Structure formats: structure tokens, C-alpha cells
């Protein structure tokens, strides 16, 4: 058995040599070109980032360290963090040691909750989560060590410590956001006998006699953990971290990006859409009614939340994992059934509509319906689950970047005049 730190100590020298010789021997070779449309169009398809933790295949979806996410749905989120960080799944002893590492660091300083309680009552839960992470910045070991003058090849060590500290505390901070923002009463203590995701579920305070709510939260935390490095939240976290702003700054910044409706907020938007359908038709709609609602939405210039993707071109396997969970646990729930009918009705309409490059559901299309089923009806909170999970990938990327000494991000900008001149436009 090796701790995560021991494992990283073993693998980082090889990784450094590998990347160093790749750059030395092949550093000048081209891997991508950029068109004018890409420069204006969010850099879609430009290969200019490295992600060894995970990749997104347009057809197969998320692949974590060469393993498709559909093969990882029975794992615990902390196992996934180990996999993201080291390219291996932990054995039972190693998992226990990681869980101990997290448990030892899990106490949240009371000032975090004081700040959350002081926020206006109508603050968005994502603003509260990101603020909670930002105030924790005073705990950063990276910043302290940097101020003391640590050497560059040691950066990954406090980056790992900050990651463990932040991940350990995040479930309690996020559960605190829920209980404070929605007046759920006192905060609930963690239980040292529970795993990371199980504790998060417990601290929310949702009744869970069957244990299926905790199972859902663990699945949720696994499925949202990472999505290579070009999505808004991961990329923002990467850019901020590249300035050697510590992990707390970087993760908080990344999660601010996750809070956008075209990114992580889509899960709240999806549930809103489904509830609006149910309200309009007095329950589960017929296929014809859902067609009408979908066309009305598109014709009013809005997107169908939970459908489409910048990279994926098939149904997201993470949607399928949630859908399978729903079929097993709540097949007769009206909200779940509506999500299921949408999967049949929406793709052909988006194809006919002719705009979206991917007419199929993404991860956000069905997750909210399942949370709703368990009585977690405050859908403004849903992106917080996504954020807690995505922090796993952000932390793994941060350790990786600091271990390789990745420099500050600074792509070159060009102006419209330069572009016109360069391409010979009038």
C-alpha cells in the first residue's frame, strides 16, 4: 500500500522525463491549425491544450485514464480522484489510506460558515459555494510555501496538500450551503465511518431509508468529475492556476464558470423545463404535447436545456448512467418519466430544426429529475453537486500542472483588421 503522495512521488519523475524529451525531440511539430471561424468561435476543435487525466471522445464520451466512464459507475468518487491523479485505480488498502487522508483534513473552520450565513438570503448557491472556497484560501499551504521560497520542482507537494484539504472540506461546505441557504436547520456533522460521497449525502439531511439517495450522490460525483481540459470550468481553473494562484483561487474561479447556463447551470434549467412541461399538461405529457412544447421553446429562440454538446456527437454515456439509475429506482416518477420521453422526442426535433450539431442529451438532461425524486427540490442547488464533483478533476489537473512546471497561459490575440488583411478580406 502506498499513500497518494508516495504514489505521486514514484510516478512524477518518469512523467517529467517523458514530457521533457517529447518537447525536446518534437517540440516544433504542428498539431493543429486555427481558422478565422475558430478564432471567433470559442476555439472549438483547436488542439492547444493537454489533458492526461481524461479525454472526451465525440462518439464514446468521457474516457478517464483510458477507461470509459460507463465502466466506472460502481466506483467511489475518491477512487476516481486517485485514478485521475495517478492513472491507476486504488486497491482496498490504498483507498482506505486516501479516505483517512481526507477524513483527517475534513474539519471546516467556522469562519467559512459565518461568511455563508452573512450572505444575502437570495444569493445563488453557486455564489455561496465559490465564496466558501475562496475564504478557505487563507488555509493554502501552496501560498505559504511559495512565500517561503520553495523550489519549482516542489510545487506539486503543497498542490497535493491543498487538493486533499479542499476536497476533504468541500462536502461539508457544500452541505452547509444547502442547509443555510434553504433554512434547513443546524449543520449536520460528518460520520467518520462513511465514505466521501456518503458523508456529503448525510450532511445534506435528506431522509434516505433505502440508501439510494446516497448512491445517487456518489454516482453524481463520479459522473461529473472531469471532462478533459477545454471546458469553461476546467480551462478557467487551469488559466488561473497557471499564474500560480493557489488551488482555492483556481477552483473558485473555475466553478464561477460552471455557474453559467450553457455549462453547469444547465441541470437546473433542465429541471425547470421538465417541471414547466408537467405543469402545462397536468403531469406526464403525451408525445404530441411534448413535441409542441419543444417546438414552442425553439421558436421562441431558446435552447432545449440538456441537449447538445460542444464535443460529443452521440448520447452522453453519463446521461445513460443516470437514466439507468432512474429506471431502477423510480421508473414511475412523473418527472423521471418526462425526462425519459424527452429522450425519444427531442433528438428528431433538433435534427429537423437543423442547428445543433449534436441533437442528443448531455449529462445535465436527467440528473435533476433524480434529485427531485428524493425530495431535493431546490433546483438552484443542483449545480453545486456538479461543482463538488468537478473539483476532483480540477485538483488532479492542478497537481499534474504543478508537477510538470506548466507555465503561465498566454495565447496570442489578433485584431479584426489583422485578420482581414491576413486572409485578404475586403
Q: In this chain, which of 77, 264, 285, 393 binds ligand HAX, going by CB under 6 A?
A: 264
Q: Please report whether residue 368 would count as binding ligand HAX according to CB under 6 A.
A: no
How many residues bind to ligand HAX according to rule CB under 6 A?
Answer: 21
313 binds ligand HAX (CB under 6 A): no
Tell me, residue by residue from 215 to 244, as one string, x for binding to ligand HAX by CB under 6 A and - for no binding: ----------------x-------------
Annotated active-site positions, please? Answer: 263, 309, 364
Residue 343 C-alpha cell reads as 429522450
State the cell numbers at 179: 442547509
Residues 280-309: x/- map of binding to ligand HAX (CB under 6 A)? ------------------x----xxxxxxx
Q: Which of 171, 172, 185 is nearest to 389 (CA)?
A: 171
Regarding 22 and contact with ligand HAX (CB under 6 A), the answer is: no
Determine which residue in the list 168, 356, 391, 394 makes contact with ligand HAX, applying CB under 6 A: 356
Q: Least distance in Å: CB of 390 to ligand HAX?
A: 9
319 binds ligand HAX (CB under 6 A): no
The 3-state DSSP class for residue 61 equals strand
Distance CA 114, CA 110 (A): 6
Edge-to-edge order in the sheet of strand 67-68 = 54-57, 61-64, 67-68
Judged by CB under 6 A, does residue 364 bind ligand HAX? yes
Q: Does 339 bind ligand HAX (CB under 6 A)?
A: no
By CB under 6 A, tell whether 314 contacts ligand HAX: no
DSSP assignment of 261-314:
TTTTTHHHHHHHHHHHHHHHHTSSPPHHHHHHHHHHHHHTT---TTB--SS--S
CA distance 297 to 289: 12
Q: How far is the CB of 18 from ligand HAX (least distance, A)?
A: 31
User: Could you give the 3-state DSSP secondary structure of residue 216?
Assistant: helix
Rg value, the chain, Cα: 22
Of residues 22 and 262, the one with the C-beta less far from ligand HAX: 262
Note whether 262 binds ligand HAX by CB under 6 A. yes
Cα distance between the two ends of the chain: 66
Q: Residues 143, 181, 235, 263: which binds ligand HAX (CB under 6 A)?
A: 263
Q: How far is the CB of 225 from ligand HAX (least distance, A)?
A: 12
Q: What is the 3-state secondary structure (H, E, C) of 126-190?
A: HHHHHHHHHHHHHHCHHHHHHHHCCCHHHCHHHHHHHHHHHHHHHHHHHHHHHHHHCCCCCCCCC
Q: Does 342 bind ligand HAX (CB under 6 A)?
A: no
Which one of 85, 362, 398, 403 is in contact with ligand HAX (CB under 6 A)?
362
In the bound state with ligand HAX, the residue whose beta carbon lies nearer, of 266 and 274, is 266
Closest-approach residue to ligand HAX (CB): 308
Q: Which is nearer to ligand HAX, 338 or 362 (by Cβ)?
A: 362
Using DSSP's 3-state secondary structure scheme, residue 50 falls into coil
255 binds ligand HAX (CB under 6 A): no
The whole-angstrom distance between residue 385's C-alpha and the CA centroid of its chain comes to: 8
Longest dimension (CA), the chain: 69
Under the rule (CB under 6 A), what is the footprint of ligand HAX?
Answer: 231, 262-264, 266, 298, 303-310, 355-358, 362-364
Amino acid at each position: 500500500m502506498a499513500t497518494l503522495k508516495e504514489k505521486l512521488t514514484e510516478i512524477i519523475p518518469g512523467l517529467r522525463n517523458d514530457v521533457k524529451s517529447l518537447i525536446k525531440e518534437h517540440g516544433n511539430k504542428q498539431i493543429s491549425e486555427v481558422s478565422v471561424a475558430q478564432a471567433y468561435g470559442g476555439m472549438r476543435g483547436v488542439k492547444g491544450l493537454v489533458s492526461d487525466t481524461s479525454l472526451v471522445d465525440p462518439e464514446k464520451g468521457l474516457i478517464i485514464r483510458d477507461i470509459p466512464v460507463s465502466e466506472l459507475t460502481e466506483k467511489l468518487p475518491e477512487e476516481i480522484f486517485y485514478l485521475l491523479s495517478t492513472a491507476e485505480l486504488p486497491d482496498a488498502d490504498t483507498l482506505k489510506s486516501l479516505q483517512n487522508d481526507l477524513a483527517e483534513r475534513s474539519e471546516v473552520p467556522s469562519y467559512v460558515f459565518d461568511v455563508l450565513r452573512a450572505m444575502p438570503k437570495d444569493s445563488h448557491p453557486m455564489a455561496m459555494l465559490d465564496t466558501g472556497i475562496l475564504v478557505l484560501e487563507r488555509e493554502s499551504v501552496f501560498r505559504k510555501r511559495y512565500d517561503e521560497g520553495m523550489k519549482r520542482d516542489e510545487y506539486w507537494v503543497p498542490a497535493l496538500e491543498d487538493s486533499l484539504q479542499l476536497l476533504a472540506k468541500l462536502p461539508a461546505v457544500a452541505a452547509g450551503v444547502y442547509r443555510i441557504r434553504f433554512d434547513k436547520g443546524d449543520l449536520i456533522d460528518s460520520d467518520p465511518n462513511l465514505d466521501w460521497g456518503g458523508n456529503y449525502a448525510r450532511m445534506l439531511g435528506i431522509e434516505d431509508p433505502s440508501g439510494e439517495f446516497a448512491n445517487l450522490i456518489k454516482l453524481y460525483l463520479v459522473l461529473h468529475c472531469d471532462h478533459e481540459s477545454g471546458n469553461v470550468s476546467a480551462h478557467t481553473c487551469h488559466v488561473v492556476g497557471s499564474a500560480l494562484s493557489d488551488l482555492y483561487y483556481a477552483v473558485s474561479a473555475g466553478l464561477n464558470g460552471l455557474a453559467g447556463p450553457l455549462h453547469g447551470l444547465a441541470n437546473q434549467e433542465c429541471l425547470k423545463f421538465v417541471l414547466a412541461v408537467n405543469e402545462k399538461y397536468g403531469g406526464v405529457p403525451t408525445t404530441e404535447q411534448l413535441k409542441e412544447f419543444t417546438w414552442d421553446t425553439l421558436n421562441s429562440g431558446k435552447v432545449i436545456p440538456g441537449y447538445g454538446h460542444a464535443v460529443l456527437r452521440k448520447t452522453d454515456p453519463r446521461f445513460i448512467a443516470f437514466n439507468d439509475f432512474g429506471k431502477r429506482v423510480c421508473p414511475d416518477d412523473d418527472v423521471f418519466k418526462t425526462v425519459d420521453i424527452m429522450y425519444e422526442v427531442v433528438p428528431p426535433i433538433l435534427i429537423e430544426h437543423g442547428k445543433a450539431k449534436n441533437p442528443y442529451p448531455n449529462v445535465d438532461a436527467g440528473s435533476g429529475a433524480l434529485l427531485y425524486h428524493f425530495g431535493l427540490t431546490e433546483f438552484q442547488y443542483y449545480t453545486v453537486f456538479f461543482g463538488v464533483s468537478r473539483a476532483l478533476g480540477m485538483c488532479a489537473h492542478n497537481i499534474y500542472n504543478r508537477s510538470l512546471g506548466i507555465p503561465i497561459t498566454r495565447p496570442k490575440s489578433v485584431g479584426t483588421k489583422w485578420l482581414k488583411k491576413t486572409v485578404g478580406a475586403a
